[in-house]
Amino acid sequence: MASHDYDVVVVGAGPVGGRAAHLLAEKGFRVLMLEEHAEIGRPFQCAGLVTPSAMDAVQAHHTVLEEVDGALIHGPSGTLVPVGTEGTLRTYVVCRKRFDQFVVQQAMESGAELWLHSSPEDAKMTEAGVELHIASEGEHRKVTCKLLVGADGAHSWTRRTFKMGRPKELMIGFQTEVVGYEGRDRWLEMYSGQDIAPGFFAWVIPSGFGSHRIGLWSTADRLEGRSIESCYQDLIDHPLWRDRFENVTEVARYCGPVPSGMVKRTVKHRVMLLGDAAGMAKPTTGGGIGPGFHQIQCVLEPLVKAISENRLTEADLKQITKKPWEAMKREQDRARTLRNLLVSDCSDQTLDKHFRTFAHPSTLELINEIGDIEKPVPLGMALLRQVPAFRPLALKAGVRLLLS
Ligand SMILES: Cc1cc2nc3c(=O)[nH]c(=O)nc-3n(C[C@H](O)[C@H](O)[C@H](O)COP(=O)(O)OP(=O)(O)OC[C@H]3O[C@@H](n4cnc5c(N)ncnc54)[C@H](O)[C@@H]3O)c2cc1C
């Protein structure tokens, strides 16, 4: 029996790496987390929305800055679609630094080790394990493990080193933290239109202590050479909305990638990708924390067995992940198809028409009944099936869904 320094090495101590390390260390495995930065949770590029199911998983309620009951969504010409119910919690807004630190702390309390200022430089596969060369605090160190987990974010070293493909879409997100915005308590706001966020939307999210996060996201091809900052400026100066932003003072700004669309090869011999590294963010909201948590949770039981038995060949890992992760990929593909059809591939004129339909009381009732941030596909399908104005899109959707 070959001996290893660790059972599992997790590259990246973000929320998903931290969660995976916790779940595996809790089962008694020797787990090492490598984090390239000197601190957990910095720099952060995130609106901080955490769904109730992801929050329940980690019980990090003390990191919550605000609770949100719904979204006030604005069409390009200003049609308002309020989604949510006063007093019914839809999502949390967290301090990402404290959230990430708490998740990593849970891993350490379960026995996982953390090396800060540490990144892998090279990895060699052997029959019995992985030999990893690490630059750590200015020194070179070598460790061996049974399984290497890449939870190292959008530009994953693990994914590139083992040539595991690319996420289908790479959205660019931009966000500022401001004071002086007057919003409705417990509601976030969303703005749409080609000037503001081509194909996607902008957001204003309450982030506690009188501050708000104003951001937007889009893709490079949809931006057609414009910078994401210029779209942000167009939101702030927009004739319909500028009154709302005239008293804001910016205190910070961030820009970051949102990889969405599961990569072709999420596993290889003794290597597994999780979270942003695997392209798990939702195509509809950009949320990546919940899907990353689900991705590890849904394979945990067979994975624990396979690590115990050191059966971690590519075939073993594929067998463990194939069914649950293919289901996640299918759901992601369907959500993207419906998003493109109803929002992303529409001109402002068509989007305005859709918003007028969304705002109709019977459609709003349907949205509030079926709408779920975590599962957008059932709502998209219900809209196409049950709203007469969307029926012409149903055939197109059917064809695209069949081909997706
Ligand atoms: C503007 C914006 C807003 C967003 N808003 C939300 C939101 O509201 N809700 C939501 O759920 N998601 C949101 N996201 C997406 C979310 O931030 C990510 O999906 C989430 O952070 C993914 O977690 P992760 O652990 O997979 O990766 P990351 O959070 O990126 O963590 C990866 C970790 O790996 C480390 N690392 C990277 N490379 C190496 C290396 N070679 N060696 C060692 N360590 C390494 C990094 O330093 C980092 O700590 C947003 C993204 C953007 C850009």
Residue 1, pLDDT score: 47
What pLDDT, in 10s, does the model give residues 69-121? 999 999 999 999 998 899 999 999 999 999 999 999 999 999 999 999 999 99
Question: Is residue 288 lining ligand 1, measured as CB closer than 6 Å?
Answer: yes
Residue from 9, 46, 50, 117 to probe ligand 1 pocket by mutation (most atoms less than 8 Å from CB): 46
* Domain-located, residue 317: no
Question: Is residue 173 lining ligand 1, measured as CB closer than 6 Å?
Answer: yes
Q: How far apart are CA 202 and CA 204, in angstroms?
A: 7
Is residue 114 within 8 A of residue 108, CB to CB? The reply is: yes
* Domain-located, residue 59: no
Is residue 288 within 8 A of residue 281, CB to CB? The reply is: yes
- 105 shares its domain with 13: yes
* Domain-located, residue 221: yes
8-state DSSP, 36: S
Q: How far is the CA of 137 from the centre of ligand 1 (A)?
A: 22
Domain edge (last residue) among 259, 284, 304: 259
- 77 shares its domain with 117: no
Q: Which of 343, 346, 336 is nearest to 404 (CA)?
A: 336
- 22 shares its domain with 124: yes
Higher-confidence position of 157 and 378: 157
Q: How far apart are CA 189 and CA 77, in angstroms?
A: 15
Question: Is residue 374 lining ligand 1, measured as CB closer than 6 Å?
Answer: no
- 372 shares its domain with 340: yes
- 144 shares its domain with 30: yes
Residue 388, pLDDT score: 86
Question: Is residue 292 lining ligand 1, measured as CB closer than 6 Å?
Answer: yes
Q: How far is the CA of 227 from the centre of ligand 1 (A)?
A: 22
Is residue 136 within 8 A of residue 38, CB to CB? The reply is: no
What pLDDT, in 10s, does the model give residues 345-401? 999 999 999 999 999 999 988 888 887 767 778 888 888 888 888 887 776 766 666
Q: How far apart are CA 344 and CA 316, in angstroms?
A: 38
Question: Is residue 45 lining ligand 1, measured as CB closer than 6 Å?
Answer: yes
Nearest CA to ligand 1 atom 27: 153
Tokens of 322: 């194939």
Average pLDDT over residues 229-252: 96
Nearest CA to ligand 1 atom 39: 152
Q: Phi and psi of 177, rounded to 5°? A: -110, 125
Query: Residue 186 is part of which domain span?
Result: 64-94+169-259
- With a cut of 80, say whether residue 39 has pLDDT above it: yes
Nearest CA to ligand 1 atom 30: 153
Q: How far is the CA of 123 from the centre of ligand 1 (A)?
A: 23
Q: What is the largest CA-CA distance in the chain?
A: 70
Which ligand 1 atom minimizes the distance to the CA of 259? Answer: 19
- With a cut of 70, say whether residue 35 has pLDDT above it: yes
Nearest CA to ligand 1 atom 29: 14
Higher-confidence position of 42 and 296: 296
Q: Which of 189, 215, 221, 200 is nearest to 346 (CA)?
A: 200
Q: How many domains does the chain have?
A: 3
Q: Is 43 exposed, middle or buried (0-12, 13-18, 19+ CB in 10 A)?
A: exposed
Average pLDDT over residues 199-210: 95
Q: How far is the CA of 96 from the centre of ligand 1 (A)?
A: 10
> Which amino acid would we find at residue 311?
R
Q: How far is the CA of 14 from the centre of ligand 1 (A)?
A: 6
What pLDDT, in 10s, does the model give residues 308-351? 999 999 999 999 999 999 999 999 999 999 899 889 999 999 99
Q: How far apart are CA 5 and CA 347, in angstroms?
A: 56
- 146 shares its domain with 247: no
* Domain-located, residue 328: no
Q: How far is the CA of 355 from the centre of ligand 1 (A)?
A: 32
Question: In b/e form, how buried is each residue of 340-371, taking b as 16+ CB within 10 angstroms?
Answer: bbbbbebebeebbebbebbbeeebeebbeebb
Q: How far is the CA of 58 from the centre of ligand 1 (A)?
A: 17
- 103 shares its domain with 35: yes
Question: Is residue 152 lining ligand 1, measured as CB closer than 6 Å?
Answer: yes
Question: Is residue 35 lining ligand 1, measured as CB closer than 6 Å?
Answer: yes
Is residue 100 within 8 A of residue 40, CB to CB? The reply is: yes
At 189, is the pLDDT very low, low, confident or very high (cuts 50, 70, 90)?
very high
Give the distance from CA 186 to its chain's centroid.
Answer: 22
Cis previous bond, 43, omega within 30? yes
CATH number at residue 292: 3.50.50.60
SS (H, E, C) 75-134: CCCCCEEEEECCCCCCEEEECHHHHHHHHHHHHHHCCCEEECCEEEEEEEECCCCEEEEE
Is residue 262 within 8 A of residue 333, CB to CB? The reply is: no
The percentage of the chain sitting over the pLDDT mark of 70, rounded to a whole number, equals: 97
Residue 393, pLDDT score: 78
Name the pTM for this structure: 0.95
Question: Is residue 342 lining ligand 1, measured as CB closer than 6 Å?
Answer: no
At 45, is the pLDDT very low, low, confident or very high (cuts 50, 70, 90)?
confident
- 150 shares its domain with 34: yes
- 129 shares its domain with 179: no
- 179 shares its domain with 247: yes
CATH number at residue 206: 3.30.9.10
Question: Is residue 37 lining ligand 1, measured as CB closer than 6 Å?
Answer: yes
